[in-house]
Amino acid sequence: MERQRRVVLDGLGFAEGPRWHDGRLWFSDMGTGWVNAVDPEGRVDAIVEVPGRPSGLGWLPGGDLLVVSMGERRLLRYDGAALHPHADLGPLVSADCNDMVVDGAGRAYVGNAGFDLRDQPLQIRPAQIVLVTPDGAARVVDDEVVFPNGTVVTADGGTLIVGETFGRRLTAFRIEDDGSLTGRRTFAELPDAAPDGICLDADGAVWVADANGSGCLRVAEGGDIVDRVEVDEGRSCFACMLGGTDRRTLFLLTAEGFSGAAIRRRTAAIEAVEVESPGAGWP
């Protein structure tokens, strides 16, 4: 059966960090500086404006929202009324922070590009994954990843998988009791893709937004591409999330590019398509 994509919401600056939570898709609009939430019918609420551009999102066990403030290199906590400092990541990272996953214990794993994306030519070098515990303590738990971007934690809480955008691979780690990462292994080599946002399904496959391609790839451990969803010509998919009532709706965050011109034209959109295997783990 041919899948039908639909547009849930358009006219966005640049949408990132999608998370399915309490019946809605939450996301950061980096182009406008707001965290928003949209329901499956496209009704959207502005949640909170974030200084320094919002990116990764997640929730503490008590219900407070954690938000990455990219330019400030901080993790903020939103209690429903105001933003509060949660962790200063500046001393630990080598570039602006970006995506994040928060596991069931409230531990946040935050990535960064590793270098200034405005540099020409690009000075690609390894970056850091920073662990922030629920009390706001932060430490580096890996410093060999090449632009750690989308990140997931398996349903048993025991494995973290991160997309290395410029490493062109998915890398897996064992999560120790204290949140440390050990046992690095390659989950999948993706030489023709640039992994951006990712999400995990119940069969253990990872949906990967290919920032350099024209869609979203479903990747099995070992690297086989077992499914894909294409987007319209001239657009790329920068993030993805499995949600909906049965977690079988794949939300695709698309845009004409990550350029200032594309952001000013508000080309970003949230699209959706139904898939077979439901989401699993975190986010």
Task: For residue 122, name the pLDDT band (cuts at 50, 70, 90).
Answer: confident
Rounded percentage of the chain residues whose pLDDT exceeds 70: 99
Binned at pLDDT 50, 70 and 90, residue 8 comes out as very high
pLDDT digits 0-9 by tens, 171-207: 999 999 999 999 999 999 999 999 999 999 999 999 9
Strands (DSSP E) contained in 133-231 are 138-145, 148-153, 159-164, 169-175, 181-189, 195-200, 206-210, 215-219, 225-230
pLDDT at 194: 96
Q: What is the pLDDT of residue 259?
A: 75
Q: Residue 271's beta-bridge partner residues?
A: 7, 252
Q: Is pLDDT of 1 > 70?
A: no
Q: Alpha-carbon distance 82 to 206, whole Å?
A: 34
Taking 80 as the threshold, does the pLDDT of residue 226 lie above it? yes
Q: What is the pLDDT of residues 231-253, one digit of tens each?
A: 999 999 999 999 999 999 999 99
The pLDDT assigned to 5 comes to: 96
Rounded Cα distance between 219 and 209, Å, is: 11
List CB contacts of 256: < 8 A, sequence separation 6 or more: 234, 235, 236, 262, 265, 267
| DSSP H/E element including 54 | strand 54-59
* Residue 116, pLDDT above cutoff 80: no
**For 46-68, what is the mean pLDDT?**
97
Closest-CA residue to 36 (of 53, 22, 15) = 15
pLDDT score recorded for residue 276: 97
Tell me the per-residue pLDDT of 76-112, one tens digit each, with 9 for 90 and over: 999 999 999 999 999 999 999 999 999 999 999 999 9
pLDDT at res. 115: 83
Condensed to tens digits (0 to 9), the pLDDT of residues 140-178 reads: 999 999 999 999 999 999 999 999 999 999 999 999 999
CATH numbers and ranges of domains, the chain: 6-274 (2.120.10.30)
* Average of per-residue pLDDT across 34-63: 97
Q: 13: pLDDT confidence band, cut at 50, 70 and 90? A: very high
Predicted local confidence at residue 256, as pLDDT = 92
Inter-CA distances, 79 with 20, 21, 60, 100, Å: 18, 15, 10, 18
- 13-22, 120-129, 179-188: which range is least confident on average? 120-129
